[in-house]
Chains A and B, each alone.
Chain A
């Protein structure tokens, strides 16, 4: 696509076209109403970001979208664009573009993808950018490239490793407040504490429903496919604080309640229950379908859908947001992650853990063996590290993956 960087109308049309195609794709399972609503909401958000009148703030994974909603701006979780693009199969051109720009094929494809999209002028222009030191260092670096390119300010959130220290909370809270004020200035929006409190209440409400929904997934047989559930996380990162997400979570909760009541199983004749760690390949559904439909091994839960924070105090919004951020299981020491995984294994009656080690992600790969060894001391559960690519389908070999999955399922069968 050759569009000028500021030609939002053309970008909008192009994106809309891709999305319509995506929605018309043949599906191998009937999606839940909430999941469809989630897809439409994300689509709406992207469409919104292509409007000239919108203030758009690019954010990375852990930057709380609440502060952006509080300014009436559109939060765009920009790495998720790579996932969306991979799903609609427009990613190869983006990846090519980033390679031509000097980005190694061995580096993270989320970042390569979004960089390529920017080079090809596919992305809605930002008014400001916020990155954080978690999940990874690649993020702020690439955000710097964007800031330079779009001539917009880039704010950086330093998240300390010592998550449990009181001072960590203060540091994050202070930064969040500062960044919010700066964002208001950069986008010409007014920041009001009342508005932020309202947004915090939205998050609390959505969280209660979402947690309840995830609680319902403890049911055996599982009421929801992992293939479907894992897609919530990408949207969640940019929907916390919105009314839309309250509605989606409530809807999801109601649907799952109904399914559990009726005894409806996501996978007929469920044989095994798996815990899936990290994200997924976005270019196809093969891996999940193979597990869930061929082997009847339902992905009962995904570690990334785990919510670890308590209700936030709307009167102390920045402290609360800091706490929410720091309790995330992905942040901090590997022991913390190991403990969380162990508790999920128990709570969700898990037969086996699949730890997806994404290609080029230094961050997650460095955790793999530590968590595997640590978990061995906590629970007796087979744990398989699956090397897999999330975005770049050129790094995917169906047969190799199937052999590994088949072998893992044989391990689980051997324990029965």
Chain B
């Protein structure tokens, strides 16, 4: 039995194809475009190609993320809270807490075992309306600093005198960073300061759910080594898991959900 999970986030769209034994056969990561359906079609097509499958072979599809209700061929839609939980637990079975930092949302999810090897979400918290402590915040700052978001993590490793960023509002922090640039402070120190700011902001939010070990990090922002490092430091001595590809946890969870869905149907 093959299933697919599709996560249409505010920034990126992922597809994961799962095989008979719940192994990941293939995955794709796309930018979320205005035309959700087109993005999904394309991401799905490529994922199938990589897995050497055709769409008829897929028994069930679950969609998740903000665009979850815009996938006409999905059998079911489930929120990214549940999907990230399932995805994280699949990758690290000991997961009790998930911290996900995406493009417009950051969230913490508390899990509990159900006794049958499955887990369920017992509590979750999401950021409120503003973009503080999300991927968008870093994207805006990367733009101001004129660097590629992908290089932020690497760059920050070179910092030896971190600059403190006091503002967490995207607009205020932007002007703060501009003034730091004018003061000719090294970019790596500014970036390192931004990572600390985002880590603290996210933790102040997520610590409102019981933070139990093990903690698994997911979402595109966890591709940024700098942010992960700061989170690790702040959460010490708690055990932290980082997936090889943190961005696909939601889609993976959706594909697992699709499997449950097919099983319950048959």
Some 9 contacts from A to B, beta carbons below 8 A apart, are A387-B129, A395-B129, A403-B79, A403-B81, A406-B79, A407-B82, A410-B82, A411-B120, A414-B122
Interface residue A415 (Cβ < 8 Å from any Cβ of B)? yes
Q: Is the CB of B121 within 8 A of A410?
A: yes
Interface residue A385 (Cβ < 8 Å from any Cβ of B)? yes
Q: Is the CB of B129 within 8 A of A414?
A: no
Interface residue A53 (Cβ < 8 Å from any Cβ of B)? no
Q: Is the CB of A369 within 8 A of B82?
A: no
Contact with A410, one of B78, B123, B126 (Cβ below 8 angstroms): B78
Q: Is the CB of B122 within 8 A of A411?
A: yes
Q: Is the CB of B123 within 8 A of A382?
A: yes
Q: Is the CB of A369 within 8 A of B208?
A: yes
Interface residue A21 (Cβ < 8 Å from any Cβ of B)? no
Q: Is the CB of B129 within 8 A of A403?
A: no
**Whole-angstrom CA separation of A400 from B124 in the bound complex:** 14
**Whole-angstrom CA separation of A188 from B125 in the bound complex:** 54
A contact residues around B79 at 8 Å (CB): 403, 406-407, 410
Using CB atoms, name the residue of chain A closest to B78. A410
A contact residues around B208 at 8 Å (CB): 369, 372
**Whole-angstrom CA separation of A411 from B123 in the bound complex:** 7
Interface residue A397 (Cβ < 8 Å from any Cβ of B)? yes
Q: Is the CB of B124 within 8 A of A415?
A: no
**Whole-angstrom CA separation of A406 from B66 in the bound complex:** 11
Interface residue B59 (Cβ < 8 Å from any Cβ of A)? no
**Residue from the set A369, A414, A415 with the largest chain B CB neighbour count within 10 Å:** A414
Interface size on B, residues (CB 8 A): 17
Interface residue A261 (Cβ < 8 Å from any Cβ of B)? no
Number of residue pairs spanning A and B whose beta carbons lie under 8 angstroms apart? 42
B contact residues around A382 at 8 Å (CB): 122-123
Residues of chain A touching chain B, judged by Cβ–Cβ distance below 8 Å, are 369, 372, 382-383, 385, 387, 395, 397, 399-400, 403-404, 406-407, 410-411, 414-415
Q: Is the CB of A415 within 8 A of B120?
A: yes
Q: Is the CB of A414 within 8 A of B126?
A: no
Contact with A403, one of B66, B122, B123, B125 (Cβ below 8 angstroms): B66
Q: Can you list the 10 inter-chain pairs with the closest CB atoms, starting with the nearest?
A: A414-B120, A407-B81, A407-B79, A387-B128, A406-B79, A410-B82, A411-B121, A403-B79, A410-B79, A369-B208
Residues of chain B touching chain A, judged by Cβ–Cβ distance below 8 Å, are 66, 78-82, 114, 120-126, 128-129, 208
**Whole-angstrom CA separation of A399 from B78 in the bound complex:** 14
A contact residues around B124 at 8 Å (CB): 407, 411
A contact residues around B121 at 8 Å (CB): 407, 410-411, 414
Q: Is the CB of B126 within 8 A of A404?
A: yes
B contact residues around A399 at 8 Å (CB): 66
Q: Is the CB of B80 within 8 A of A403?
A: yes
**Whole-angstrom CA separation of A385 from B122 in the bound complex:** 14
**Whole-angstrom CA separation of A399 from B208 in the bound complex:** 23
**Whole-angstrom CA separation of A399 from B66 in the bound complex:** 7
B contact residues around A397 at 8 Å (CB): 129
Looking at the assembled complex, report how far the CB atom of A123 sits from the nearest CB atom of chain B, in whole angstroms: 30
A contact residues around B66 at 8 Å (CB): 399, 403
B contact residues around A415 at 8 Å (CB): 120
B contact residues around A406 at 8 Å (CB): 79
A contact residues around B122 at 8 Å (CB): 382, 411, 414
Using CB atoms, name the residue of chain B closest to A372. B208
B contact residues around A387 at 8 Å (CB): 128-129
Looking at the assembled complex, report how far the CB atom of B105 sits from the nearest CB atom of chain A, in whole angstroms: 8
Looking at the assembled complex, report how far the CB atom of A244 sits from the nearest CB atom of chain B, in whole angstroms: 39
Looking at the assembled complex, report how far the CB atom of B110 sits from the nearest CB atom of chain A, in whole angstroms: 10
Looking at the assembled complex, report how far the CB atom of B237 sits from the nearest CB atom of chain A, in whole angstroms: 24
B contact residues around A369 at 8 Å (CB): 208
B contact residues around A372 at 8 Å (CB): 208
Known pairs A411-B120, A414-B121, A414-B122 / 20 extra A-B pairs, C-beta < 8 Å? A382-B123, A387-B128, A387-B129, A399-B66, A400-B129, A403-B79, A403-B81, A404-B126, A406-B79, A407-B79, A407-B124, A410-B78, A410-B82, A410-B121, A411-B81, A411-B121, A411-B122, A411-B123, A414-B82, A414-B120
